[in-house]
Amino acid sequence: MKCPLSVVVSAAALFASCASSTGAIGEPKSLAVREVGSFHVGGGQVSLSGLPVKEVAVQQGTAPIRIDPNGDFEVHQMYVQYIRLVAPKARYPLLMWHGGGLTGVTWETKPDGRPGWQQFFLTAGHDVFVSDAVERGRASWARYPEINSSEPLFRTKKEAWEAFRIGGPDSYHPDVARRVAYPDGQFPAEAFDQFAKQFVPRWTTSDRAIEAAYEQLVLKVCPCVILLHSQAGAFAATLALKHPERIKGMVAIEAFSAPDPATVEPARFARLAGVPFLFVWGDYMDAPAFWRRSWTRVKAFSDALAHGGARVEWWDLPARGIRGNGHMLMMDRNSDVIAAQIQAWMEQAGLMK
């Protein structure tokens, strides 16, 4: 067993993590896998009628065939891929939920080609379930305006560069050579275009469908621990309140939102007493301004959890001496330092065998 020299921020956390790994961090000598597979969950049948029939050649050089767009469709399902270990060291499967305009690829790889957190947490001994929420990736998407009421949004590179805090306002440029990332930023900015290939369109009118499918997932595979990012924060928090017996721990990476505690019956928080929650935030939180609003919303929720008896930790990474992380911190150069600390937190929280 060896541990990378760069992983020296928290020696205690590091050793806890290394000791529990089957090999070096992110570099398993051999991962003993029992099963790989996937499934769709949630959603249901919707029928359309009254749309015009067309003749279409579905592949170049082939004869046109009659396409009738009217009929039955499965819509609003989500996609889940799993890798189960022969001998998991974690007590519960780890569900990895991505953010808005993205898919489960968030966890599979890093834009500079290093292994993603999926492999990290597999190596640390977790059965891992990586999903694509309703409307994106392998979950597919439903026709609009007939089924989804709005059109989708396509995130530009500039919007992502700024919103994900790769660089400050107006530091993006179409020409890679002329982009100015934060000088101490940890995102591999030279590989930003590779990251942009992961972007998928998003709808703003599908929250209920997304949450409903996540609920079916929770009912199917939990008790579990949820590792979530950004948009998934509100869904995970809502489902923890609704199914507290199924949520054994939660790690929220820059959750974009959470339910307003004033709208939640206090007894619901008490049902999460003893459950470990970890909230993780990166650097540069004051530009753009909406991130501090996210922080404030999520802090109120976190405080209500703690008041109800949950075991809450709130990690402001710069305050812990870890600087330069943006919103996609699971892809940053120091991302495995953070993963190792999360793994150590899980061990301390009793989530490992």
Q: C-beta of 248: minimal distance to its own copies in Å?
A: 24
Residue 83 CB, nearest approach to its own copies (Å): 7
Report, in Å, the least distance between residue 230 CB and its own copies: 9
**Nearest to its own copies of 245, 260 (CB atom):** 260
Nearest CB to its own copies, comparing residues 11 and 49: 49
Can you state the angle between helices 207-221 and 232-242, rounded to 10 degrees?
Answer: 50
In angstroms, the CA 7 to CA 318 distance is 16
Least separation in angstroms between residue 109's CB and its own copies is 5
Please return the burial class of 290, using the count of CB atoms within 10 Å of its CB with bins 0-12, 13-18 and 19+. exposed
- Which lies closer to its own copies via its Cβ, residue 79 or residue 277? 79
Q: Quote the least distance from Cβ 58 to its own copies, whole Å.
A: 6
**From the CB of 344, what's the least distance to its own copies, in Å?**
23
Do 216 and 243 touch, CB atoms closer than 8 A? no
Q: Which residues pair with 135 in a beta bridge?
A: none
SS3 144: coil
CA distance 98 to 103: 6
Give the nearer residue to its own copies in terms of CB position, either 28 or 318. 28
Closest CB 259 distance from its own copies, rounded Å? 8
> Residue 188: how many CB atoms within 10 A of its CB?
21
- Name the nearest CA neighbour of 342 among 184, 223, 188, 226: 226
SS3 assignment, position 297: helix
Closest CA to 104 of 117, 113, 120, 114: 117
- Give the C-alpha separation, 283 to 322, whole Å: 8
Integer Cα distance of 76 and 219 in angstroms: 17
Nearer residue to its own copies within complex by CB, 20 or 257: 257
The span from the CA of 127 to the CA of 123, in Å, is 10
- Yes or no: say if 181 and 172 are a contact pair by the CB < 8 Å rule: no
Q: Give me the phi and psi of 188, to 5 degrees please.
A: -75, 80
Q: How far is the CB of 111 from its own copies (least distance, A)?
A: 9
If DSSP codes are grouped into helix, strand and coil, which group holds residue 117? helix
Taking the CA atoms of 186, 191, 192 and 194 in sequence, report the sign of the dihedral they define: negative
CB of 110 to its own copies, least distance (A): 9
Q: Which is nearer to its own copies, 69 or 223 (CB)?
A: 69
CA dihedral 221, 223, 225, 230 (to 10 degrees): 60
Q: Which is nearer to its own copies, 74 or 245 (CB)?
A: 74
Nearer to its own copies, 260 or 286 (CB): 260
Q: Which is nearer to its own copies, 22 or 348 (CB)?
A: 22
